[in-house]
Structure 1
């Protein structure tokens, strides 16, 4: 399905923020790795979190759900042997479960999205797991991937951190369950350190002890630990909310977004600071972000590695800012569902934006007067690109058609419903 985005001058209303996808997937996993029964309140509903639900069920967890919560009886360190796992298009779920699947005798992760997740590299994690005694068959580091495990060994483990922090997080979930103590050494640079902080926060809540160096480049993990069954509450999702906040910033708006903790460990919380730097009128108190946008923004420079999943939305806002904005240290955007630098900027140019790319930078020459629009653009099956292009469509002179926009469901199934509730003119249309 495609979406038609018609220019919209004003947004107004209040929304409860979407629940955090990152926290939901992590809570689901640690609940499955506990042997008792855990409860998760306000879990996210998205393709990613649904993939984790489906896979932990396949691995032996009992999952019961109502409108408010999920109750999970876990399998501990003994997942049920299973032949195949289908993670859909969820890269983090794949990588976390590649580590856990090493406790199983023989599991194949299938490839249903050859043009998206099927193109993403996982060699860094494969090298780490192989060094732990796990036999892995793969296609040059890509799906389908078969893991023949059963007896992974701890000890000194190295993992590269310069493509994704998810490889490190995967090892942090696995190593506490092993017989041996482990020391994990991160090689090269570590991308998205704030997301590793979320993993460590969830592990601590689950009763796991991990000793981390301050720079997150070395971790000491005692073995023979047990995940404890707990009750968790999922906070609001800053990555998805970034797109709603940016939409409010580029329009005449009076928008309140609830359930966004001021002191959240989500790196994408920085979207609030960036919009302030862009001189967008807003307040952030009592877990409510209140934007009273006037459509006037100033250019900004920002280190995007601190807020990877909010960068595209901030770039979309910068399209309409006065001056030239620069988002740097963002090379890891190239290794997502699509190349979120080259692919995204190509689509922005079609819409009339003035943008440049470097290997690890996005440069935006703002057009406060707006962009032309009036074109059909390709979101490359990427939920973050879909959300960001929608923001641009709200300030275009002519409507935009975003192809295959249903893929927004990967993280934010109700995104367009939420925008409509604020007055945005967006509608589903049949793809040609």
Structure 2
């Protein structure tokens, strides 16, 4: 599908934020790891959340779903032996389940997206699992990956945090179920610590005890624990809302986005502070972000590791800011569905943006007068890139045509519907 994004000077209206993909994934996983019946209210619906639903069912969880909730009968420490698991293009689901698959005799994670997830490395998690009596077959750290499990063992474990925090989260979900106590030490510079905080929050809600150092680099995990069957309520999603808020910031707008908790532990909550720092007129109260954009933004410097999945949308806003913006500490963006630094910036340049890259930085020389657009661009099968490029298209002089725009369904299937409801001029063409 192609999305033809036309210049749109004004947006207005109200939206309910999507449910959080990150919390949905974690709640469904801990519910599956419990031996009773859990209920998850307001779960996210996207390709990624569908992947975790499908995989925990394959592993033996029983799910019943209606419009409001999912009721899950978990499998605890005893997933059903399966030969294959298909996680689609969901990197977090793959990494979380690689550890859980160690309780099975042999599981192969298949590769259906060789040009996206299939390119992403998982060596650091493989190395950690091999310390735990788990043999792993792989293609230089990439899919397809076969876990030869059955007898994983705890003890002293080291895992690198320099590429992704998902490796650490994976081990934190699995080690409480081991017979032995575990001691996990993180090496390198741990990326996305706020996301590890979400994992620890969910584990605590599920009754799991973990001692974590203040810097989140050392963990003591007692073994022989059991996940409690509980009720969970999924909060609104800041990463998906970031693009909507950026679109409001670069246009004349009057937009309210509901269900965005002020005290959320989602790192991407910081995008509200980023937009405030860019002088975007907005308020945040009663779980509502109200943006009254005037299209005028001021450049700034921001630590992108605090809001990883919101960086691309904020870069799109900075394209139209007065001055030069710098997003630093963002190297982990290179190891997502695509290289979200090089690939994304190449497309921004086609649209007329003035951007530079370093290994771990994105530098944006703002153009308050707007960009030319009028080109067809490649979103590299990446949902975050699609959403961010749409923001740029709305403010461009000739619009943008985005290839493979249907991949936005990975996290936000209703994205274009929501933008159109706010007045965005977007035409979708099936191919």
Q: Secondary structure at the match of 1:372?
A: coil
Deviation of residue 430 (structure 1)?
3.2
Q: Distance in 1 between matches of 2:390 and 2:271?
A: 17
Q: What is the 5 A alignment of 1:14-413?
A: 14-413=14-413
For residue 397 of structure 1, give the secondary structure of its aligned residue in structure 2: coil
Partners of 2:427 and 2:374 in 1: CA distance:
15
Structure 1 residue 325, shift from structure 2 partner: 0.2
CA distance in 2, matches of 1:118, 1:211: 34
Q: TM-score, normalised by structure 2?
A: 1.00
Residue 417 of structure 1: how far off its partner (Å): 0.5
1:2-58 deviations in whole A, cap 9, x for unaligned? 100001000000000000000000000000000000000000001111000000000
Secondary structure of 1:191's partner? coil
Deviation at 1:316, TM superposition (A): 0.1
Cα distance in 1 for partners of 2:425, 2:118 equals 34
CA positional deviation for 1:343: 0.1
1:429 is displaced (CA, Å) by 1.1
1:300 shift after superposition? 1.0
Q: Write the distance in 2 (CA, Å) between the matches of 1:423 and 1:360.
A: 36
For residues 362-405 of structure 1, give each alpha carbon's deviation from its aligned partner in whole angstroms, at most 9, with x where no partner exists.
Answer: 00000000000000000000000000000000000002100000
Gap runs ≥5 in structure 1 = none
Query: Number of paired residues?
Result: 431
- Distance (Å, rounded) in 2 between the aligned partners of 1:267 and 1:430: 35
**CA offset digits 1:194-249 (Å, max 9, x no partner):** 00000000000000000000000000000000000000000000000000000000
Q: What is the CA–CA distance in structure 1 between the aligned matches of 2:300 and 2:35, rounded to whole Å?
A: 48
Report the secondary structure of 1:50's partner residue.
Answer: helix
Query: How much has 1:148 moved relative to structure 2?
Result: 0.8
Cα shift at 1:427:
1.6
CA distance in 2, matches of 1:127, 1:234: 32
The two structures have a TM-score, normalised by structure 1, of 0.99
| 1-structure distance, mates of 2:347, 2:399 | 14
Question: Partners in 2 of 1:375 and 1:351 — Cα distance?
Answer: 7
The alignment partner of 2:145 has SS state of strand
2:427 and 2:106 mapped to 1: Cα distance? 45
Q: Equivalents in 1 of 2:260, 2:300: separation in Å?
A: 23
CA offsets per residue over residues 117-146 of structure 1, 9 Å max, x none? 000000000000011000110000000000
Q: Distance in 1 between matches of 2:425 and 2:18?
A: 20
Give me the CA root mean square deviation. 0.4
Deviation per CA, 1:84-143, whole angstroms, max 9, x where unpaired?
000000000000000000000010000000000000000000000011000110000000
Deviation per CA, 1:302-351, whole angstroms, max 9, x where unpaired?
A: 00000000000000000000000000000000000000000000000000
Q: Could you list the structure 1 runs, at least 4 aligned residues long, displaced by more than 3 angstroms after superposition.
A: none
Rounded Cα–Cα distance in structure 2 between residues aligned with 1:419 and 1:278: 22
Deviation at 1:273, TM superposition (A): 0.2
Q: Distance in 2 between matches of 1:324 and 1:268?
A: 22
Please give the alpha-carbon distance, in whole angstroms, between the structure 1 residues aligned to 2:65 and 2:151.
33
- Unaligned stretches of 5+ residues in structure 2: none
CA–CA separation in structure 2 for the residues paired with 1:124 and 1:375: 39
Aligned mates of 1:285, 1:430 — CA distance in 2: 39
Distance of 1:199 and 1:399 partners within structure 2 = 40
What secondary structure sits across from 2:184 in the alignment?
A: strand
Shift of 1:294: 0.2
